[in-house]
Structure 1
Amino acid sequence: MAKAVLFDELGGPEVLRLDEVALGEPGKGEVRMRVDAIGLNRAESLFRSGSYIYQPDLPGSRLGYEAAGVVEAVGDGVHGFAAGDAVSTVPSFRMTEYGTYGDAAVLPARALVGRPDGVDAVTGAATWMAYTTAYGLLVEVGGIDPGDVVLITAASSSVGLAAIQVANHLGAVPVATTRTGAKRRRLLEAGAAHVIATQEQDLVEEVRAVTGGRGVELAVDPVAGPGVNTLIQAVAPDGALLLYGFLDPAPVPMPIAPDFRGRTVRTYLFEEITVDSEPRLRRAKHFIDAGLRAGSLAPVVDRAFDLAEVVEAHHHLESGAQFGKIVLTVRH
């Protein structure tokens, strides 16, 4: 038997419960892992509340994309992993198929990556959703070059902080936004070249000042809503705005800048890297693993909760007060 977080109805964090489940042995192409740490994501909050891109199978739905731990057993046809290997998970499955919230999990082997020496379980659990998302936005889709200016909204999120590091790693100039100046110093310390507090400063004017009037080559945004009309005005005529979330549930207008020339507006989902394309996933794994080994990519962890505190952790996830990744730790 294993402990797992389940929910039987849609709702707030209180619907989550910790229960015992029969985990079973890994099947063909699967691995059973002992879970030591779990990374939390907004995707799981939306999934739990019924607002995600797909719906949970109720009752008894599991959840969770990210974890780090140790391989306990491998199924038939699995190559490259063996019992005792330290691993992390890449979000390359759907939560209607598998889940990571628990003290053990059976997962597809394709979702595992080896954990480099010196990378502990908490760091390993805080890495792969944020960095595959940031890699896809800035590299595979955004195609940024050294010297390009990248506008990163909601920059104190785990993806925002990962995007700052990826931009710096590639020689680009990360400009971070946050609602107030309260997180300005921490964003600068995290590597942002400039920070714009959108409730206190004019976003478009500040971007023009930073870029000499041109605008940014790339803007990445998880909020959407009517704010995209402002964001598009901060994008250079041949630049791009990538929307990778919908934290604002209000309808998204078609953003039109005063200058119509050449701007690209595109939606993006992390599954474009982790599920839809094996070559893209392979490139992402190599890019992120190299960054972890070199130290240029280093997840920022906001706070760690015990697995039994999952309800409190989800309340914190939804508060907007965090700076970086929220993690659950598992005691065995």
Structure 2
Amino acid sequence: MPRVVVFDAFGGPDVMRLVDEPAVEPAVGEVRVRIEAFAVNPLDQMMRSGTSPTTVPLPHSRLGIEGTGVIDALGPEVTGLKTGDPVILAAVPDASARGSYAEYTTLPASQVVVRPAALGIMEAAAFWVAYSTAYGALLEKARMRPGDHVLITAASGGVGRAAIQVARQIGAVPIAVTRHTAKKDDLLAAGAAAVIATDHTDVVEAARHHTGGTGADIVLDLVAGPGRQHLLKAARPGGTLITAGFLDSRPTPPVPSSTPLTVHAYRSFDHTLDAVVVKRMAAFLNAGVRLGALRPAIAKVFALQDVVEAHRHLEEGLNDGKKIVVTV
């Protein structure tokens, strides 16, 4: 019988357990996917520990907002897909009910995209969440253009690395922000035009320096919290600040009404539940993969029975910002 990861109480990685459950038949407009691999994301950790910004019902809650696999069955009225098609899960908004930490899952056919042929299974498992978030925030929301200077916080994380590559793909100038000077060389190798390490450098002064004194056209804030006040000053007047993460659990001060910026909050489900935008995302990301411009960095691969260890690896920070993948 197929295996599924569930948890009945909030807590550390040990609350997760593997259970056997029958595969569910897809309903009208749905597909069933035989999962080949999934990535472990910070949101999974938050759901499991009870710190998620959304309600997670217990007991028998599931996990997983990202993964890749093969279409196993089609529900009534599904067109454009067939059994055997390799796909990527484009959105799992109800991960607590049918997340990707399983051998099989069902979801609406509109929430899968065809897997790019140039991506291996491990890369495909770790691709969509980071790259669709970076694309949606920078291109759909902030309207990034060639030549724009883009300041990216938490740049060594999965979304930060994706944002560097997405910016470079269209000819923008990604400036990476990290807390640790030791990560500078790695971020330059990942494609950053410049790196600001805040353990030794003032982010506002450095941003002005790297933009010829004007400030960043776009600031992608993947941290939030009190540090956003400095980022507001690092952007040019008339620029855009977009918050697409919440790594800092401290309150984020409100933006003063006098701030000469356009400020947005962004969540990936703003766009990944919109079939029209998903089509644009898939076209852009497929082109980036085909050209070699977009490629996820993977830290370590675990087997499904070792999913508890995979979460420990994430919590201990041993992935160094790269993605953790679990094979099914």
Task: Specify the TM-score bucket, using the shorter chain as the normaliser.
Answer: over 0.9
Q: Paired residue for 1:310, among 296, 307, 312?
A: 307
Q: Deviations over 1:6-33 (max 9, x none)?
A: 0101122221111111222222122222
**Equivalent position of 1:143 in the other structure:** 143
Deviation by residue 1:111-144 (Cα, 9 ceiling, x = unmatched): 1111122321111111111111001111011111
CA–CA distance in structure 1, aligned partners of residues 213 and 196 of structure 2: 16
| Counterpart-to-counterpart distance in 1, 2:198 and 2:13 | 29
**Does the 8 Å contact 1:34/1:69 carry over to 2?**
yes
2:322 maps to: 324
- Hey, what does 2:184 align to over in structure 1? 184
Counterpart in 1 of 2:71?
Answer: 71
Measured against aligned partners, the alpha-carbon deviations of 1:54-95 in whole angstroms (never above 9, x if no partner) come to 212211011111111111111111112212111111125321
Distance in 2, matches of 1:306 and 1:77, equals: 35
Amino acid at match of 2:301: A
**Structure 1: how far apart are the matches of 2:299 and 2:217?**
30
Identity percentage of aligned residues: 45
Q: Aligned partners of 1:264, 1:235: CA distance in 2, in Å? A: 10
Residues 1:262 and 2:260 are matched in the alignment: yes
Identify the residue that residue 198 of structure 1 maps to in structure 2: 198
Aligned-partner Cα distance in 2 for 1:234–1:24: 50
Gaps of 5+ in 1: none
Q: 1:270-312 CA deviation, whole Å, 9 max, x = no partner?
A: 011112x332222112111221222211111122111112112
Give the TM-score, by structure 2 length.
Answer: 0.95
Distance across 2 between alignment mates of 1:133 and 1:233: 24
Change (3 A) 1:92 1:290: farther
Q: Which residue of 2 aligns with 1:129?
A: 129
Structure 1 residue 190 displacement after superposition:
0.6
SS of aligned partner of 2:253:
coil
Aligned to 1:280: 277
Equivalent residues of 2:34, 2:71 under 8 A apart: yes
- Could you tell me the TM-score, scaled by structure 1's length? 0.94
Indicate the residue corresponding to 1:44 in structure 2. Answer: 44
Distance 2:246 2:210 in 1: 27
Post-superposition, which runs of at least 4 consecutive aligned residues in structure 1 deviate over 4 A? none
Shift of 1:251: 1.1
Secondary structure of 2:107 counterpart: strand
- Bigger shift: residues 131-140 or 18-27: 18-27
Contact 1:238–1:261 (Cα < 8 Å) also in 2: no
Tell me which residue corresponds to 2:103.
103
| Aligned partner of residue 38 in structure 1, secondary structure | strand
The 8 Å contact of residues 273 and 284 in structure 1, kept in 2 or not, is answered as no
* Count of matched residue positions in the alignment of Structure 1 and Structure 2: 327
Q: Assess if the C-alpha contact under 8 Å between 1:12 and 1:48 holds in 2.
A: yes
Correspondence for 1:153? 153
State the AA in 2 paired with 1:14: D
The CA deviation at 1:164 is 0.3
Is the Cα contact below 8 Å between 1:63 and 1:100 reproduced in 2?
Answer: yes
Quick one: which amino acid aligns to residue 306 of structure 1?
A: A
Q: Specify the code of the residue in structure 2 equivalent to 1:160.
A: G
RMSD: 1.6
What is the aligned partner in structure 2 of residue 226 from structure 1? 226
Distance 1:319 1:280 in 2: 35
Distance 1:148 1:196 in 2: 17
Distance 1:288 1:84, change over 3 A: same
